[in-house]
Amino acid sequence: MNLLISTINYVKKYNINKNPAFLTCPNGNLMIKEVIEHIDLLLINKIYIIVHKEEFDTYFNLDDFKSMFYFKNIEIIIDIQDTIFKSPSKTIYNCIKKNNIIGPLLIKDYKSIFDFSPIIGNYVYYCNSVELSHLDNKSFIQFNNLNHITNISEKEIISNYVNIGAYIFNDVNLFLESYEEICKIKNISEIYISHVIFKCIIKNKIFYSMKVNNILDFSKQKDWENFCKEYKTLFVDIDGTLVYNSGEYSKKKWGETDAIENNVDYLNKLYSTGKVKIILTTARKKIYEKKTIEQLKKYNIPYDNIIFDLYHGKRYLINDYSETNKYPTSISINLERNNNNLEKILN
């Protein structure tokens, strides 16, 4: 099966200069890569990524971009197009013709992320409308009790079932033939994939509906910003914050004090979401690393890394911000020594 994803913007919906497909996710992946990594690629043998030449040349070298998408036994083709067509289907049509694509075809929108395992056939993937924060500029489907799609409508709410940007054609020729037939109709300037599928349906080609869950929809910039806000990197002091204060020469020595349970419990709660990185910071000397780690294990204190040998003084976190990484990107919290109220202050 072939996977085809177009990164070309047809309507500017983000108030930023950068194409949303090339935004960096909290885990470091570009959005376009994150979309692909959530797809089970077992049946995929070629991936076509359509990019606009002028935009692509602004940000990337071809070899660097292509190296991002290494998947074992899968060929990656970067289709660089000079023209932004008004019709999304025209862009896909050109890619198919240009690259002589044959066989089954999965077309995926880059602005929605969800886990699914594509199978060969004719399918439209959908979710329930209550799972999305907004419904404008969406297409909708209706289907019978056999999951046969009976109607598909662009930007008109005809049901509670929202097409979320993934379509499979059992044979790429079905897409080509239906698109070409639509092009013969006068006064149709913008052809969506939903129009192509509707054309297939009225020709008695069966398309099945396929439900997906846990969708991340980034059709609007606010959706993206809210998603990014869920991810945090916490730089957390050890002594007086997670364990009761201690020192190298005091009676209560490094590694020997009890945990501040409320703060540790809250930190574990955050860490369990998978959306938090924890970097422990401390003025403890590196020679106390073994004793420190033993203390952290004893009280089940979560962390990803530890920075030792800091000054016993003020600490400044300096970070850049931009239109794609909104101000403020660094926040300072001062917690009174041995205070157990970290949750209330951090919230």
DSSP per-residue codes, 307-324: E----SS--------BTT
Q: What H or E segment, with its residue span, contains residue 147?
A: none
Query: Domain locations in the chain?
Result: 2-226, 231-346
Instruction: Please report, for residues 79, 281, 292, 303, 342, the alpha-carbon distance to residue 297 in angstroms, rounded to integers and kept in the order given.
Output: 51, 16, 9, 10, 20
Q: Domain 231-346 adopts which CATH fold? A: Rossmann fold (3.40.50)
Cβ contact 343:266 at 8 Å: yes
Q: Is the pLDDT of residue 40 over 60?
A: yes
**Span 190-218, mean pLDDT?**
93
Cα gap 256→93, rounded to integer Å: 68
Q: Which of 77-86, 107-116, 129-138 shows the highest mean pLDDT?
A: 107-116
Q: What H or E segment, with its residue span, contains residue 164?
A: strand 161-169
What are φ and ψ of residue 221, in 5° steps?
Answer: -60, -35
- Between 12 and 79, where is the model more confident? 79
The whole-number pLDDT of residue 83 equals 85
Query: What CATH class has 2-226?
Result: alpha beta
Find all residues with CB under 8 Å of 324, minimum gap 6, and list them: 16, 18, 23, 24
Q: How high is the mean pLDDT of the chain?
A: 91
Helical H runs in 192-306? 193-202, 221-229, 261-271, 289-298
Cβ contact 243:257 at 8 Å: yes
Q: How would you list the strands of the sheet with 305-307, edge to edge?
A: 232-237, 276-281, 305-307
What are φ and ψ of residue 276, in 5° steps?
Answer: -135, 130
* Tokens describing residue 335: 């917690």
pLDDT in tens, 227-277: 999 999 999 999 999 999 999 888 889 999 999 999 999 999 999 999 999
Cα gap 290→278, rounded to integer Å: 19
Cα gap 232→64, rounded to integer Å: 28
- Residue 18, classified by CB atoms within 10 Å of its CB into exposed (0-12), middle (13-18) or buried (19+), is middle
pLDDT band at 13 (very low <50, low <70, confident <90, very high): low
Cα gap 4→325, rounded to integer Å: 29
pLDDT in tens, 158-201: 999 999 999 999 999 999 999 999 988 877 778 899 999 999 99
Phi-psi domain of 178 (left: phi exceeds 0; alpha: psi -120 through 50; beta: other):
alpha
- Between 185 and 295, where is the model more confident? 295
pTM here?
0.86
* CA quadruple 235, 238, 244, 250: dihedral, nearest 10: -140
Percent of the chain clearing pLDDT 70 (strictly above) = 99
In the Cβ-directed half-sphere of 286, how many Cα atoms lie within 13 Å? 2
- Residue 42, classified by CB atoms within 10 Å of its CB into exposed (0-12), middle (13-18) or buried (19+), is exposed
Report cis status (omega within 30 of 0) of the bond before 328: yes
Phi-psi domain of 309 (left: phi exceeds 0; alpha: psi -120 through 50; beta: other):
left
What are φ and ψ of residue 83, in 5° steps?
Answer: -115, 140
Same fold, 2-226 and 231-346: no
Q: Is the pLDDT of residue 11 over 60?
A: no
Find all residues with CB under 8 Å of 51, minimum gap 6, and list them: 7, 8, 78, 79, 80, 81
